[in-house]
Structure 1
Amino acid sequence: MAGETTMLEAVEGLDSGVLRTAFSGFPCGIAALSAMTEGAPSVLIASSFTVGVSMEPPLVMFAVQKTSTTWPQLAEAPVIGVSVLGEAHADKTRQLAAKNKAERFRGVQTHAGEDGALFLHEAPVWLSCGIEHTYPAGDHDIVVLRVLRVRVDFSHQPLLWHRSLMVPVSR
């Protein structure tokens, strides 16, 4: 598949796999959005996470599928912890996103804030956020979050999602 090219195809009638492949060609960061909900940890993995939506007020955003069963739980949390995933999470990312919610946090070290926000250890960035707005967008919703607190630890390198693979960023 390396170096493979295809013809430009019209989106109407396009196989969703082709579109997914095209979208995977854009490298992006991966974030874990998590909080304690109903006494248990909940996590949603987002490769659609975007920082710098606004500096004043400080806003970030991500897109979530309308069929998500985790988002309705997280949406009820007063504060959501956003952990930008780092190299240490490479072997745990798919587990954190797994359908089996009971197994998601197995072997994953976390830090719970007093407000219920949950963060993953060894993440280069932690953002404590509240929901600012939600907008419908096709089969997803766009969620804008207001950043309340920030922690940065660049001794940990971030992960990128590119062509359906997790790739560590090297200096």
Structure 2
Amino acid sequence: MNQATHIDAIEPKLFRQLLGCFPTGVAIITTHTADGRPVGLTCNSFSSVSLEPPLVLFSLRKASSLLGTFVEAGTFAINILSQSQDALSGRFASSKIADKFEGVAWRPGALGTPLIDDCLASFECSVHARHEAGDHEVFIGEVKHMTTGSADHALVFYKGAYMMLAESLRKLVLEGQLGTADIDEAYRSLYGTLLRLACDRASEAEVDAIEAAADEIEQHQGADALPQRIEAMARFFSSIALAGHNEALRLMAQTMTAVLRERMTHVIPAHPRPDVFPLRRKVVRCLRVRDAEGAVGALDELIKTLRSNGVQQASR
């Protein structure tokens, strides 16, 4: 006679702790009330479901005060947070803040759902299906529109805390262990290769994106516009990486973008530099006519000009 196997009951606290061993991205799920007021909450239960059709899901506690709103709205948006948006994550997770959107920059998307500015990506969805699952309700959404945003690293939740993917790299930058000469050499090698690839592979729309980033840099030249200038510069280089159509090099470029951000924010402040505007424009012009050597030469000239003038300013 077989003896019954004893199975211990799942202890909720340990269950939550062990689930935290799996790192997850962080998103803010948004929708609007019947009278058009934006609402949202922080969520790390977002997941992809299907490519054809494009389906994603998130789960919402049945006890959530927003459950009825999401059910009635029939649409929602998933806003993927960057590592610089950890404060937003905390804001939308707090039960003590009545109006989560107060002071938050956002815009209505094509479906009218709130899209939060400067996220890594946003997906606007219509509700495809909804299922009860224990103490949660699972919403499956069909993606109708999507947008890309910041080139920053993702905000990651791990073992009950936020984990910065580039934290070790940031430490090296702040401690001065990455020298300017080494960084410049890395930029020349990496982005020189990406520019050559982009001359062969980039679409006109991708070159347009590079030019738009150059435009944005020129628009943010005020003394109080440093954050916007840094984002525009990061977008300029990340757009070049995308145009090269090489996933391995694009991942390397993300690391270099993290270096750029940290140096410009904490080590070498990015002062307005209208003298280098023509050099970025030259990079774009050469890409348009598929002149790889011209584009690489313009990049090299850009780096040299930035460094030579930086040395002069530091010696004054």
What TM-score, normalized to structure 1? Answer: 0.85
Say yes or no: does 1:31 pair with 2:44: no
- Once the two structures are superposed, residues 126-160 of structure 1 have per-residue CA deviations (whole angstroms, 9 ceiling, x without a partner) of 10101101111111122111000111235132111
Which letter does structure 1 place at the counterpart of 2:158?
Answer: H
Matches within 5 A, 1:83-162: 83-113=79-109, 115-153=111-149, 155-162=151-158
Structure 1 segments (4+ residues) deviating >3 Å: none
The partner residue of 2:37 within 27, 36, 40 is: 40
CA separation of 1:145 and 1:23: change in aligned 2, threshold 3 A: same
- Once the two structures are superposed, residues 7-27 of structure 1 have per-residue CA deviations (whole angstroms, 9 ceiling, x without a partner) of xxx650x43111111111110
- Once the two structures are superposed, residues 45-83 of structure 1 have per-residue CA deviations (whole angstroms, 9 ceiling, x without a partner) of 2111002x1111000011111111112212222431210
CA separation of 1:86 and 1:11: change in aligned 2, threshold 3 A: farther
Q: CA contact under 8 A between 1:78 and 1:116: conserved in structure 2?
A: no
Give the secondary structure class of the aligned counterpart of 2:40. Answer: strand
Which letter does structure 2 place at the counterpart of 1:70?
Answer: L
The partner residue of 1:73 within 69, 75, 81 is: 69
Give the secondary structure class of the aligned counterpart of 1:156. Answer: coil
Give the secondary structure class of the aligned counterpart of 1:104. Answer: coil
Q: CA contact under 8 A between 1:130 and 1:147: conserved in structure 2?
A: yes
Structure richer in strand, relative to its length = 1
Structural RMSD (CA): 1.8
Distance 2:107 2:164 in 1: 23
CA separation of 1:101 and 1:76: change in aligned 2, threshold 3 A: farther
Aligned-residue offset at 1:101: 4.9
Which letter does structure 2 place at the counterpart of 1:104?
Answer: K
Aligned-residue offset at 1:114: 5.0
Deviates more, 1:23-32 or 1:111-120: 111-120
Distance 1:137 1:79 in 2: 20
Which letter does structure 1 place at the counterpart of 2:90?
Answer: R
Q: CA contact under 8 A between 1:42 and 1:74: conserved in structure 2?
A: no
What TM-score, normalized to structure 2? Answer: 0.48
The partner residue of 2:14 within 18, 23, 26 is: 18
Distance 2:91 2:123 in 1: 22
| Structure 2 unaligned blocks of 5 or more | 1-6, 167-254, 256-316
Aligned-residue offset at 1:169: 2.9
